[in-house]
Each structure stands twice: as C-alpha cells, then as structure tokens.
C-alpha cells in the first residue's frame, strides 16, 4: 500500500484536479494506494469537496481539524493516519507533480528509506521567496548538525520505518524538514521541476508567515543563538577590561581634563542595554517553546474523519 498525504488549507479549486492526477499515476502503477487529505481548518468548501471525493472514490480518505493548526501539524496528522508501507508527502496545490511518484517508488524499491524531491527549478515564485529560502537553508546548514539537503521542500517519500520513527517524536513545534534527516536511515534524492500553483494563492509568502517557521526550525535544532549570548558576554567583558586599564592609565599619566565623555557613556549604556534585551529575547524564544512542550496539549483536534478509524490518530 502506498499513501499519498497532502495538507489542505483553502484548496477547494485544486482538490478535484489533485485527485484526478494522483489517481491517473497510481492506477497506472497498479499498486494499492490511498490519498490522505488533511483539512487544516479551511474556511472555504474544502471539507465538502473531500467528502464528495471520498464518496466517489474510496481511495480518498481524510481528516478534518477543528481549526487551523498549521502546515507542520497537518502533515503530522497525515502521517499518523496513513497506513501505507511507503508514504509520499506532497503539497495539495500540484506544485509537486504526481508524475514524479514512479521515480520515487523506484528508488524506494532500490532500498532507500527516504527519497526527497530536489527542485531543479521553481516556477511562479517571487524573487523574495526564492532569496529568503536560499538564505535560510544555508544558514540552517551552518548552525545545526543535521544535514538538510539543499533545494528540497517537503515533497518526499518515506518508508514505514521512517514514518514510525516520526510518530514517536512528540514535539509541539515541529520542523519536519529537519526531523526527517535527523531520523537517519538511507536517504536519496530525485530531481524534478517544481510547477507553479494550479489555483489559489501561496499561504507562505510574507515575512510574517515565514518567520515563525524559520524560528521553529532554528530553535528545534540549534543552541547556537543561546550560546551567542555567552560569546557576546565574553567579548564585551574583554573590551571593558581593556577600557578600564586605559582609563586608569589616562587618569594617572594623561593630561588633566575636566569631565568629558558624557555622550560616550550614554551610547555605551544604550548599546549594552540593547544587547541584553536581544539576549533576553533569544532566551524568550526558547522558553516559550519549552512552555509549549510542558503544557503537553494535544497536537491537533479532529472534527471529522473519512475512511479511517478514530484510533489511528495520535494518543498524546
């Protein structure tokens, strides 16, 4: 059994076409398959469309959240419910073409546990998105120990072993692109051309939408920002020590001057205040996430299920 998992947030116009393209590819392969659609609290008629598709074709299964829980959580629920021996994770908007599945499955049969899609080109994206994405992945590679392959999104095939490993990772702030390499096993890539959206608009185009994702990624996999405070502290203390010596020497041997340097004092105090607030902010980012973990709330709440048993979902 092959599962195809797609998170859905306001994708009403895309879903019938997604189903048609996936069905075409999978029926041609002649393998048993399921299309798992996770409705992440859509405000359009996506739930009704999933309902209709499920009624037409039992290959289509799905769950619907009680509200919008976010992309990473929607994907997590899809992996929790999927029953396949291999699970293919894809966006619902057909940016990841279903025609790539056979190549991924071929690699999987060669014995790879994770086959991720490497984009050779990205159509229909703004230069801002391309630029920030490039910057972000290069940064995260430098400051974490996990090996996130460059130019890959969430489009990937995972063996059941990997899916089971992910199901054992309970964290609330999830960065799946980092969690999959963390798991290990044998990983390979297949290249593909990323298409533009079939319909609708991107939900991740502004800084406001992308920044939380980036912060989750960094705090989940790196302590460097926390250590930065210490490095800065040493640097500042070192500078201050030098300045103390300089001031003493000037006072003893320098020319006698009236009180000078008020502006310097003010600037130094403001600067140090800024540095301290930034360091507090960094600690706050981690602290807030620790608080999320400690509360231990359920990751998602389900309103409706199509074609699955309730017990498939996450226990905690």
Which of ligand UDP, Mg ion, none binds 204 (CB below 5-8 Å, type-dependent)?
A: ligand UDP
Choice from 12, 40, 91, 159 touching Mg ion (CB under 5 A): 91
Distance CA 32, CA 3 (A): 9
Question: Which residue in this structure is represented by tokens 């025609």?
Answer: 99
Choice from 33, 65, 71, 306 touching ligand UDP (CB under 6 A): 71
Choice from 11, 34, 80, 113 touching ligand UDP (CB under 6 A): 11
Question: Which residue in this structure is represented by tokens 């130094």?
Answer: 268
Which of Mg ion, ligand UDP, none binds 159 (CB below 5-8 Å, type-dependent)?
A: none
Q: What is the DSSP string of the chain?
A: -EEEEEEESS-TTTHHHHHHHHHHHHHHHT--EEEEEEE-S-SSSHHHHHHHHHHH-TTEEEEEESS---HHHHHHHHHHH---SEEEE--TTSSS-GGGHHHHHHHHHTT-SEEEEEEEEE-S--HHHHHHHHHHHHHHHHH-SS-PPTTEEEEEEEEHHHHHHHHT---SS--HHHHHHHH-S-EEEEEEEEPPPSSS--S--SHHHHHHHHHHHHHHH--HHHHHHHHHHHHHHHHHHHHHHHHHHHHHHS----S--HHHHHHHHHHHHHHHHHHHHHHHHHHHHHHHHHHT--S--EEEEESS-GGGS---
Closest CA to 2 of 47, 51, 70, 59: 59
The nearest distance, CB 228 to ligand UDP, in angstroms, is 29
Question: Which residue in this structure is represented by tokens 């797609």?
Answer: 6
The nearest distance, CB 311 to Mg ion, in angstroms, is 31
Q: How many CB atoms lie within 10 A of CB 307?
A: 15
18 binds ligand UDP (CB under 6 A): no
What is the footprint of ligand UDP within residues 203-242 (CB under 6 A)? 203-204
92 binds ligand UDP (CB under 6 A): yes
159 binds ligand UDP (CB under 6 A): no
Choice from 93, 154, 159, 216 touching Mg ion (CB under 5 A): 93
Residue span 180-219 as binding mask against Mg ion, x where in contact by CB under 5 A, dash where not: ----------------------------------------
Using the rule CB under 6 A, give the single segment among 20-28, 100-108, 196-204, 256-264 that binds ligand UDP: 196-204
Measured from the CB atom, the residue of 2 and 77 that comes closer to ligand UDP is 77
The nearest distance, CB 104 to ligand UDP, in angstroms, is 18
Residue span 270-289 as binding mask against ligand UDP, x where in contact by CB under 6 A, dash where not: --------------------
Choice from 132, 202, 220, 276 touching ligand UDP (CB under 6 A): 202
95 binds ligand UDP (CB under 6 A): yes
Choice from 10, 39, 64, 95 touching Mg ion (CB under 5 A): 95
Choice from 63, 74, 165, 180 touching ligand UDP (CB under 6 A): 74
Positions touching Mg ion (CB under 5 A) are 91, 93, 95
Positions touching ligand UDP (CB under 6 A) are 6-9, 11, 40, 68, 70-71, 74, 91-93, 95, 202-204
């Amino acid at each position: 059994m092959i599962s195809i998992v797609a998170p859905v947030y306001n994708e009403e116009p895309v879903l019938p076409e997604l189903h048609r393209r996936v069905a075409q590819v999978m029926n041609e392969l002649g393998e048993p398959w399921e299309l798992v659609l996770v409705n992440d609290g859509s405000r359009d008629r996506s739930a009704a469309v999933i309902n209709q598709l499920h009624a037409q074709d039992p290959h289509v299964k799905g769950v619907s959240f009680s509200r919008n829980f976010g992309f990473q959580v929607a994907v997590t629920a899809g992996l929790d419910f999927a029953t396949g021996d291999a699970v293919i994770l894809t966006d619902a908007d057909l940016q990841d073409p279903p025609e790539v599945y056979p190549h991924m499955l071929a690699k999987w049969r060669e014995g790879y546990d994770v086959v991720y899609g490497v984009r050779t080109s990205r159509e229909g994206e703004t230069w801002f998105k391309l630029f920030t994405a490039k910057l972000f992945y290069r940064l995260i590679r430098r400051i974490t120990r996990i090996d996130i392959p460059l130019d890959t999104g969430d489009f990937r095939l995972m063996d059941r072993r990997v899916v089971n490993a992910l199901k054992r990772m309970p964290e609330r702030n999830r960065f799946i692109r980092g969690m999959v390499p963390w798991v290990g096993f044998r990983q390979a890539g297949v290249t593909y051309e990323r298409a533009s959206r079939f319909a609708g608009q991107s939900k991740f185009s502004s800084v406001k939408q992308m920044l939380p994702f980036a912060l989750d990624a960094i705090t989940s996999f790196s302590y460097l920002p926390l250590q930065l405070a210490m490095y800065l502290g040493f640097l500042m203390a070192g500078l201050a020590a030098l300045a103390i010596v300089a001031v003493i020497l000037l006072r003893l041997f320098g020319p006698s001057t009236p009180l000078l340097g008020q502006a310097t004092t003010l600037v130094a105090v403001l600067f140090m205040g800024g540095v301290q607030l930034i360091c507090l902010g960094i600690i706050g980012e981690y602290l807030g996430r620790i608080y999320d973990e400690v509360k231990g709330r359920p990751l998602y709440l389900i309103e409706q299920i199509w074609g699955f048993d309730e017990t498939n979902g996450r226990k905690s």
